[in-house]
Amino acid sequence: MLSAGVVVLNYAVLATGWNIMGGFTGYISLGHVAFFGLGSYGTALLVIHTGMNWLLAALVSGVAVALITVPIGFAALRVRGSSFVIVTIALVLVLQLVFQSWSVVTGGSSGLVVPRPFPDMLRPEHHETFFYIFLGLLAVTLLIWTLIDRSRFGASLKGVREDEDKAESLGAPTGKLKLVAFVISAFVVAVAGGFYALWFGDLDPLFQFRIVLSSWIVLMALLGGVRFLFGPLLGAIVVGSSLEYFVLNHGDTQFHLVATGLLLGLVVLFLPDGVLTGVMQFVRRFRPEATSIREVSAEELRAQQEAGRSQTRKEAGDD
């Protein structure tokens, strides 16, 4: 259960980090797993070759990935819609091939063993420690999302999401806004990748850069609702728990891929704004319709008119 909890919290951080870009700008990226993989390998290589503290290594790796994201984002964000999605998918596939072929450094398909940050701990204690580490990282990620949501920067990003051309015509630097959101999102996902590498202890390019993980992240964010703080967290709990259940009960089959694919299709068709938005719309149907005109009875209306006449006579008598 602790291991599954760590996995679900990792998904929650990834989905919330993705939502900093996808939720605020409306750009659907299927390439965020690239930053997850870069953060994982960056942290592992720093710990292995420099002996750097594990926490510092994860942060340094996240900063390095953020810097790498600047030229990548500058090129990718020049296109929109499906073209942007294709560019992000291409990024993942290229990095997967590079890290698999560069076996001298990354270990290739043989894997890369990462030193455990707490070697004296038993495995249950190790899981428990990283459960709280990921919980803390999730809290920081939610705080970052909240600060952006309540800032002028976040309002400008929402303008890009609603109508990018209109926002640009009003003088908003849409290119810079999208790039900053892209870099912040990549940093959060990269740090999560570094913590995952330290927890799991074994890296494989086919897993760290798998495009299916990107689709899961997008599904989690869309399922919960990208406009809400806890939307991606809700999606991560539902989808992440379901994935762990399918793997536990059906083993190494493709059944969980079929199930998540069907769920993604249902969400896009029937709940494009997420479960939370759907629940709010359902609740509104049973509420009385709001009106801008306050309804009053005939007695109240006559009393108001009489009070008005009395006030007018009083003012005339004073004059």
- pLDDT per residue over 49-81, tens digit each? 999 999 999 999 999 999 999 999 999 999 988
The answer to whether residues 37 and 208 touch, using CB atoms and an 8 Å cutoff, is yes
What are the pLDDT tens digits along the chain (319 aa)? 889 999 999 999 999 999 999 999 999 999 999 999 999 999 999 999 999 999 999 999 999 999 999 999 999 999 988 899 999 999 999 999 999 999 999 998 888 999 999 988 999 999 999 999 999 999 999 999 999 999 999 999 999 999 999 999 988 899 999 999 999 999 999 999 999 999 999 999 999 999 889 989 999 999 988 989 999 999 999 999 888 888 777 766 777 778 778 888 888 787 777 777 777 776 777 776 555 455 556 667 677 777 777 777 776 666 6
Please name the residue that has the structure tokens 């990462």: 114
Instruction: Tell me, rounded to whole angstroms, the distance of Cα 147 from its chain centroid.
Output: 15
CA dihedral angle for residue 136, residue 140, residue 145, residue 150, rounded to 10 degrees: 130
Q: What's the pLDDT at 141?
A: 97
Quick one: which H or E segment has residue 83? helix 81-101
The SS3 of residue 175 is helix
The SS3 of residue 202 is strand
The answer to whether residues 39 and 191 touch, using CB atoms and an 8 Å cutoff, is yes
Write out the two tokens for 25.
Answer: 């700008």
Q: What's the pLDDT at 150?
A: 94
Q: What's the pLDDT at 109?
A: 84
Going by the DSSP 8-state scheme, the letter that residue 26 receives in this structure is: -
Q: What is the pTM of this model?
A: 0.85
Instruction: Tell me, rounded to whole angstroms, the distance of Cα 1 from its chain centroid.
Output: 24
pLDDT digits (tens, 9 = 90+) for 210-253: 988 998 999 999 998 898 999 999 999 999 988 888 877 776 67
Q: What's the pLDDT at 40?
A: 96
The answer to whether residues 296 and 252 touch, using CB atoms and an 8 Å cutoff, is no
